Structure 1
């Protein structure tokens, strides 16, 4: 079968190549992958600014159909529509982080798509405990957004109180930012979404999803907009999803005294900020790194309730053979979420 593989460390070194089809053991489930989303992490691995374990098949945001189950598997059957928690492919299971469901911090952890073979291919085999059945009403396209939805839920729901009536600045309308926006709109917040000229199409999606104010910082002064929209008090919460130095600084400036800052985007390099802003405003700073078991349980409830609207975020669906074009779409910020599906080329 074909797969997109990071062959070795360093910039690039990613190719579409033939790989061995994985075998299903007694405690595992074999999934035929239908859609896999391109994540910012995949781009960071391409640029060698995120840790990976090459040679490794990339991709971790996916949905599919079970085609084979091991003899000891109890909860699933062939034909089930599923997704999987990619971040627990390898963990120690014994450290304080694993025992509390905060597996992301296990020192032994390896994830699908970076540490072990992932989903930019035809089949993936995972342990039964990693698999989650998706509701019948949910499309396989939307189900491929389960993992990024979990990242957004961790940031918006679990780290700091965000209330109905709060004014929130969301900087960076990429796929994760847009999912965060959907959650904030559901909560009843007033949301100001900031992006650059490069984010033009994504800012349009933000409008469709219900953003109250759209700011193109390449053409408008964000500080002036914040003052106007908050009567010069500053926003209650800033959610930084761009992973860019200027965006971080803008978020810190925009916050009210004793406001809350949530870091979601990966910066990937050292940046300079006015650190005293944090002190003089007595800001609460939290960082949102992926998700936890608690997060995934919450996401499954969100899917079951069928209230969140993520379909507008999916703007491109391309075959695996066009992965270079798909990656470039993401690099150029042309649309929202880009999905890949398997083809034989």
Structure 2
């Protein structure tokens, strides 16, 4: 089968090549991939700024239908459609983190698309415990977005403490940032979205999603805007979703004393920040990475009930052969969610 593979360490070193079809191992099912989203992590793997284990097939945001399975497995029908929790492809299942649901911190964990073979291909092999059912009225493409949406749900609804009446700064209107915005708007939170001049189209989309105000940081003084919109108080919560030094600095400076800083974006390198503010303003600083199983249950419940629409987050659709076009659009901030389809 054709697959998009990180074939060796180093920047780049990604290509389409033939890979063996997965076998129906004991206790596993074979899914035919419907579609798979390009994630910022895929770009980090491409640039070799995120740990990876080549040769490995990229891609981890996907849905698929069951085409084969271990005959001993019960309760899983051929033809059924599932979203897949790829982050637990490898985990010990016994450490303190696995036992309390925080599998992201298992020392041996490897996820699909960087640690083990992912879904930028036609077929994948997964365990039944990785399968999550979405309602029949949910499209295949939206089912592929459960994974990135769960990242946003975790950051906004589980890591942060956001209260009606708060003013929030969301810095970085990329795909994850705008999924966080959808959550915040649904919760009735006044949200200022900041980006660079390269983010103009994404900021326009943020306005359509319900952002209270958008700021192009080269054109307006973000901190003046924050002071204006908060009567000089500062924002209650700042979500850094860009993974950029200037963005993180703006978030820290925009916060009120005792405010919350939530780091969602990945820098992929060391950065210099005004970290004394964490002490001088007694800030609550938290990281948000991935999700838990409970997050996936919550995210799918929101999607199934139609509380938040995700179809409009998909801006481009390409065949797997056009993967580089999709990667470039995301890198150049000319897209939100790009889906690739196997041949």
> 1:110 is matched with which residue?
110
Are 2:89 and 2:112, in contact at CA under 8 Å, matched by a contact in 1?
A: yes
> 1:145 is matched with which residue?
145
Please list the CA deviations of residues 293-341 of structure 1 after superposition, one character each: whole Å capped at 9, or x if unmatched: 1211211211221111222211000110001111000110101111100
The alignment partner of 1:271 has SS state of coil
Q: Can you give the 5+ residue segments of structure 2 that lack an aligned partner in the other structure?
A: none
After TM superposition, list the pairs within 5 Å mapping 1:191-230 onto structure 2. 191-230=191-230
> 2:290 is matched with which residue?
290
Are 1:205 and 1:313, in contact at CA under 8 Å, matched by a contact in 2?
A: no
CA distance in 2, matches of 1:10, 1:25: 32
Name the TM-score, length of structure 2 as normaliser.
0.98
Are 1:83 and 1:143, in contact at CA under 8 Å, matched by a contact in 2?
A: yes
CA distance in 2, matches of 1:336, 1:278: 32
Are 2:165 and 2:189, in contact at CA under 8 Å, matched by a contact in 1?
A: yes
Q: Can you give the 5+ residue segments of structure 1 that lack an aligned partner in the other structure?
A: none
CA distance in 1, matches of 2:281, 2:59: 40
The alignment partner of 1:243 has SS state of coil
> 2:319 is matched with which residue?
319
Are 1:205 and 1:312, in contact at CA under 8 Å, matched by a contact in 2?
A: no
Are 1:165 and 1:190, in contact at CA under 8 Å, matched by a contact in 2?
A: yes
After TM superposition, list the pairs within 5 Å mapping 1:200-279 onto structure 2. 200-279=200-279
| Cα deviation, residue 275, structure 1 | 1.2
| Cα deviation, residue 65, structure 1 | 1.4
CA distance in 1, matches of 2:14, 2:204: 32
Q: How many pairs are equivalent?
A: 343
| Cα deviation, residue 178, structure 1 | 0.5
| Cα deviation, residue 269, structure 1 | 0.7
| Cα deviation, residue 10, structure 1 | 0.4
Name the TM-score, length of structure 1 as normaliser.
0.98
| Cα deviation, residue 160, structure 1 | 2.6
> 1:48 is matched with which residue?
48
Are 2:63 and 2:81, in contact at CA under 8 Å, matched by a contact in 1?
A: yes
Are 2:172 and 2:242, in contact at CA under 8 Å, matched by a contact in 1?
A: yes
Q: Which moved more, 1:41-50 or 1:67-76?
A: 67-76
The alignment partner of 1:135 has SS state of coil
CA distance in 2, matches of 1:235, 1:319: 42
The alignment partner of 1:259 has SS state of strand
CA distance in 2, matches of 1:61, 1:72: 27
The alignment partner of 1:258 has SS state of strand
Q: In angstroms, what is the RMSD of aligned CA positions?
A: 0.9
Are 1:318 and 1:339, in contact at CA under 8 Å, matched by a contact in 2?
A: yes
Are 2:60 and 2:86, in contact at CA under 8 Å, matched by a contact in 1?
A: yes
